[in-house]
Amino acid sequence: MTPQDALKKLARGTTEIISLGDLEAKLKEGRPLVIKAGFDPTAPDIHLGHTVLLRKMKQFQDLGHKVVFLIGDFTAQVGDPTGRNELRKKMSLSDIEKNAATYKAQVFKILDPQKTQVVFNSHWLNKLTPQDLLELSARSSVAQMLARADFKKRFETGKEISLLEFIYPLLQGYDSVHLKADVELGGNDQKFNLLMGRQLQEAYGQKPQVVLMTPLLEGTDGINKMSKSLGNTIGINDEPNEIFGKVMSISDDLMLRYYEILTETDLEAVKKMHPMEAKKQLGQMIVDMFHPAGEGAKARAHFENTFSQHQVPENIPEFKLTSGQKLVDILVLTNMCASKNEARRLIKEKAVSYEGSTIADENWVPVIGVLKIGKRRFLKLE
């Protein structure tokens, strides 16, 4: 692959590259580049939102570059202040170690374990002396930190900002210095931290890294960032039928975005397909990404057989979901049940199903799809 073709491949699905010209120049050097991406082990369950960055790492890996998967076990104890309105609670070392082990077990569903260097930043950050930290802190200013949007907002509203939080971007930037990174990958919410790496590399006499930012993937609700706390995730450890069903529940617009960010499929070809067929192919592809080959086809067949056995009539009632609504509440709001007690009874009697699958949890948070209540009542969730 020529540097120009590689650049086109790597730029797809990104929000910003600083700078595109620098990345092209590095690709033309003809040597394996050091590609760094850092992960704080704060959430042990990886979902499609996390895989956006992992897939970009895999693209660099397939092009012959050196991928460094950095687990921020040291910086996790400091806490990334990005987007936060308050100081994050400190994680325990035992939680960090447990989450890090879970991360490693999951990321190799995407990355090649033989070509991935897994490192922990405690290995070098623990060795910094007080004088080293003072020298590091002199590389930035309070004014620069307060220019950062989340710090600025908290400062203006009188909310506490600890000096510890000022240290976080400096430590993340120092990781790039230690690793002599050529490229650092990160979400577009990490821009300040990523640029700090460039700044510190220049201060320490290194050529500044290229910063490549990826978007934050929307969850199945099509509105909010994919997040376990919002119940809108598609987990890579989910069962094949569950993954496929969740993909089928997303909107057509979100489907195109998933194709762009999560696959290398020709988008123009996708646009020419019938939306239902395109969505089924997407669901099949995503299942096969994280499960043995052929599981995607089985999940598709299960979905299609389920619908052929549970024909949904036309012109059924519709209900527009809002984030976090529970099944028992939806049944009452839509007059499908006269009371919560009736809703709970039907759920307990296994008389409520979603897309052909029985729902046994009254607190389940539905996504877009079709509910069946009893033998003849249907409700379309939008």
* Residues contacting 381, CB < 8 A, separation 6+: 318, 319, 321, 330, 366, 367, 368, 369, 370, 371
H/E run at residue 344: helix 340-348
Count, residues in the chain: 382
Q: What is the DSSP annotation of 7-35?
A: HHHHHTT-SEEETHHHHHHHHHT-S--EE
Could you read off the pLDDT tens digit of each residue along the chain, which spans 382 residues? 888 999 999 999 899 999 899 999 999 998 999 999 998 777 667 899 989 999 999 999 999 999 999 988 888 777 655 555 555 566 777 887 888 788 877 888 899 999 999 999 999 999 999 999 899 888 887 877 877 777 788 888 888 887 878 888 899 999 999 999 999 999 988 888 899 999 999 999 999 999 999 999 998 888 888 887 777 889 898 999 999 988 988 888 899 999 999 999 999 999 998 888 999 999 999 999 999 999 999 999 988 876 655 566 667 888 888 777 888 889 989 888 888 998 898 888 888 888 767 787 888 887 777 888 887 788 888 8
Domains of the chain (ranges; CATH) run: 3-214 (3.40.50.620), 217-309 (1.10.240.10), 311-382 (3.10.290.10)
